[in-house]
Amino acid sequence: MTPRKRELLLVRHGIAEERADAADDAQRSLTPEGRERTIAQLRSLVELDLNCDLVLSSPLVRARQTAELAVQVGLAPDLELAAALAPLADPLPLLERWLGAVSPRPAWRRLALVGHEPDLSTLAALLIGVPMALAPEALQLKKAGAALLQWPKPPQAGLLGSARLALLLPPRVLLGRRSTTPSGG
């Protein structure tokens, strides 16, 4: 039996409320504009046939709201919160579990990870083999932007450097796609 190709769709949360000195950063919500733009961007991902088997999300409010919108527009049927996707957490053990031989859902093909910057872009850079010193500058995910990483075969000797970057979709591309899509039907 041929091993399944695995993919990760990394999605940064949408536009959120500004940081306030007294407010708890974890409780910042998407703004009304952020919700609207995020829905449009997520619908573009669905139109591009980038549907996922599951959304794993940071538990912070703005990421969770983005993940809930992803489920709402049909990007994935289910959502699970993952503390490993919170800012400054280490997502590698989570990914090793999902990409390993004893995955929680062995039949999955594509997972969406909803999180924060610079964590997601640094993770993507490390997974495609960018040295740690250069990883924070290698690529950047804008709000509700997405990156698709692929593993044509299961990683053999660790995750770092084992993936390839298949797509990098900034918001202007996703939103531009929405404005050129014919309406109706």
Sign of CA dihedral 178, 179, 184, 185: negative
Two tokens, residue 94? 């989570």
Average pLDDT of the chain to the nearest whole number: 89
Rounded average pLDDT over 167-183 = 74
> Domain locations in the chain?
6-180
pTM of this prediction exceeds 0.85: yes
**CATH pick for 6-180 out of 3.50.50.60, 3.30.565.10, 3.40.50.1240, 2.40.340.10:** 3.40.50.1240
Rounded average pLDDT over 29-45 = 97
The answer to whether 179 and 40 are in contact (CB under 8 A) is no
* 136-167 pLDDT, tens digit each: 788 899 999 999 999 977 776 678 888 999 99
The rounded distance, in Å, linking the Cα atoms of 69 and 16 is 14
pLDDT over 60 at 124, yes or no: yes
